[in-house]
Structure formats: structure tokens, C-alpha cells
Amino acid sequence: LAKTTQPISMDSYEGQEVNITCSHNNIATNDYITWYQQFPSQGPRFIIQGYKTKVTNEVASLFIPADRKSSTLSLPRVSLSDTAVYYCLVTGGSYIPTFGRGTSLIVHP
Amino acid sequence: ETGVTQTPRHLVMGMTNKKSLKCEQHLGHNAMYWYKQSAKKPLELMFVYNFKEQTENNSVPSRFSPECPNSSHLFLHLHTLQPEDSALYLCASSQGVSVGQLQETQYFGPGTRLLVL
């Protein structure tokens, strides 16, 4: 079971780029990296998923180095509405993805 | 709107009551999940159903009883709950080719906020 480690909290300001790094040292060959976003009193929402190198969608970018032992979620030009908890998960294999405590991002005006 | 709905959104019940939470997904998925999220704690997986078969029961007390009559509906029956069971109960669904399989993205409902008095 691949365990993930990410910062408990981060602060940023509107308009800045935010990078949240996640460590997953024992990621397996068949595993993917998936990020979710959760607002208070709501269910988590899928943001992005990747296997290696870089993935970009309309919401975020995901950077994964060659050794895949870490990944970085990049949120360009954050706004107040990006204040949420962000979860990094390793998904794949025969186990259920496990949500950790995530990173609580607070965006200030 | 994620395609997963949950009712009720809020529920207050006494410790002797019996109530049920309902989840419905409109995504054509085959796997459904119940999670519990207590204040300032990570999501705790409770139950997993894949193709209507329960594949995971994460040591959940028997006062929580799941039911999956078909791939689109999932229930959580509650009876004789304790105050510490107060939490946000989240339902999720995924494609369900194989639980935890590659690219098994989960889609969550809005949750039911439960308060046990």
C-alpha cells in the first residue's frame, strides 16, 4: 500500500501560483497519482490524475518526476474559491485508495 | 453536480431511532462506497460494493448496515447509534471494473450531515 505524505496546510494570496507536493516513496509500477479537492461539508472532487511527466487540464497541472516518488499539483493564479483541502492519492493495484489528511489551502485576498 | 445524489442532506436522530441514508448514482458505475468523515479527521472507508457484491467491510460496527439493491442505489441503515457516530457520511461511485484498479476515479455525493443526540 503506497503511503502519501503532503503538507498539512499552506497559505497563498489571490493571483499566485500554488504548488502542493506529495511524497509517495513506495509507489508501485502500476500505480497512478490522483488528486482530489474538498470544500467544507462537501464530498471530494476529482481534479487530476497522472502516471509520469506532466498532465494539464483546465483546473490544474500535475508534475511527476522520472522516479515517480513524488508529485506536485500546480494551481495557476488561485482565487478565494480555491480555498479547500487537497488530497493526494496513489491509485491502482488491488487496494482501495486511501485518503489521508490532505493539505488545507487557504487563499487570502 | 457529480452525478451522485444523497438524501437526506441533514439528519438529526436519537440513539434509539432507526433511519436510512440513500445514495443514487446516474453515471452507469458498478462500484459504490460509503465513507465517514468526522470533524478534522480523514475520510474513513466503511463499505464497498462492486457489481452489487460487498467487497469491503472496514471493521464497521453492526449498528451500520449497508444495502445495495442494484448498481445505482446504495443505502446505509442506521440503528442505535452513538453520539460519536455524528459525522458527514459520503457516498461515492466508480467505474468498478475492479475495485482499486488503474484509473479508478471516484465520484462523490454531497454527503449527509448526521447528528446523533
pLDDT band (50, 70, 90) for residue B105: confident
Percent of chain A at pLDDT > 90 equals: 76
Q: CA angle, corner B92, sides to B81 and B94, nearest 5?
A: 145
pLDDT the model gives residue A76: 94
For residue range B52-72, list pLDDT tens digits in order.
788 777 789 999 999 999 999
pLDDT the model gives residue B59: 85
Judge contact between A90 and A32, C-beta under 8 A. yes
Query: How far apart are alpha carbons B36 and B74 in whole angstroms?
Result: 15
Determine which of A6-15, A93-102, B6-15, B66-75 has the lowest per-residue pLDDT on average.
A93-102
Query: How far apart are alpha carbons A31 and B34 in whole angstroms?
Result: 23
CB < 8 Å to B90, chain A: 43-44
Please tell me which residue, A15 or B103, carries the higher pLDDT value.
A15
Q: What DSSP character marks residue B84?
A: G
For residue range A17-66, list pLDDT tens digits in order.
999 999 999 888 888 999 999 998 899 999 999 999 999 999 999 999 99
Query: How far apart are alpha carbons B58 and B43 in whole angstroms?
Result: 12
Out of A13-17, A92-96, B12-16, give the one with best mean pLDDT. A13-17
Q: Chain B contact for A51, CB < 8 A?
A: no
A35 phi, psi to nearest 5 deg: -120, 140
pLDDT the model gives residue A64: 97
Query: How far apart are alpha carbons A58 and B9 in whole angstroms?
Result: 30
Q: Chain B contact for A34, CB < 8 A?
A: yes
pLDDT tops 80 at residue B87:
yes
Query: How far apart are alpha carbons B71 and B32 in whole angstroms?
Result: 8
Please name the member of A41, A46, A97 whose beta carbon is closest to the beta carbon of B113.
A41
DSSP secondary structure of B10-68: EEEE-TT-EEEEEEEE-S--SEEEEEEE-TTS--EEEEEEETTEEEEE-S--TTEEEEE
Q: Give how far the C-alpha of residue A89 lies from the chain's centroid of Cα atoms, to the nearest Å.
A: 7
- Yes or no, beta carbons of A30 and B102 under 8 Å apart: yes
pLDDT the model gives residue A66: 95
